[in-house]
Amino acid sequence: MKSEVLVKDVMWGEVDIIDRKTTVQDALNTMQYKKTKMLIVDKAHEHDEYGVVLIADIARKVIAQNKSLERINVYEIMNKPAISVNSEMNIRYCARLLTRFNLSRCPVIDEGKIVGVVSLTSIVFMNHAYRAKK
């Protein structure tokens, strides 16, 4: 019987969440300090959705447009709602979803709360290691 590998088996639980009113400059500083390419933008209220801001968003929507990093807030450039997955999802389907939307990573949400982040890199390498142990 083949064992299924789930998102929770390959995700990382360290999540970088910022406020929607954070300036792009501060978000970029956080990305550099945390060594990450994606920050999750927190919900503004209970019935709101999470957003994400990527290095590519900053490059395309701020730097390429010659806008000021200090004068733009992340809510102006974020992608919302964030495409997310559940921790109980099989990684085959997660990989299909990410590649279908040309994403390299996404938040993992259970019961409306962020519990981690999964990336194609973690799916490929951690899946390989997970299967090698069995």
Per-residue pLDDT tens digits of the chain, which is 134 residues long: 357 889 999 999 989 999 999 999 999 999 999 888 999 999 999 999 999 999 999 999 999 999 999 999 999 999 999 999 999 999 999 999 999 999 999 999 999 999 999 999 999 987 666 666 66
Partners of 106 in beta bridges:
118
Tokens representing 51 are 């957003």
CA distance to 38, 89, 116, 134, per residue, from 110 (Å)? 19, 11, 9, 27
Helices (H), ranges, the chain: 7-10, 24-34, 55-58, 91-100, 120-133
Separation CA 34–CA 89 (nearest Å): 27
Look up the pTM and report it. Answer: 0.86
pLDDT given at position 49: 95
User: Could you give all domains of the chain from N- to C-terminal order, each with its CATH number?
Assistant: 7-133 (3.10.580.10)
- In whole angstroms, give the CA distance from residue 45 to residue 21: 13
Beta pairing class for 51-54 and 113-119? unpaired
**Tokens standing for 28?**
């970029």
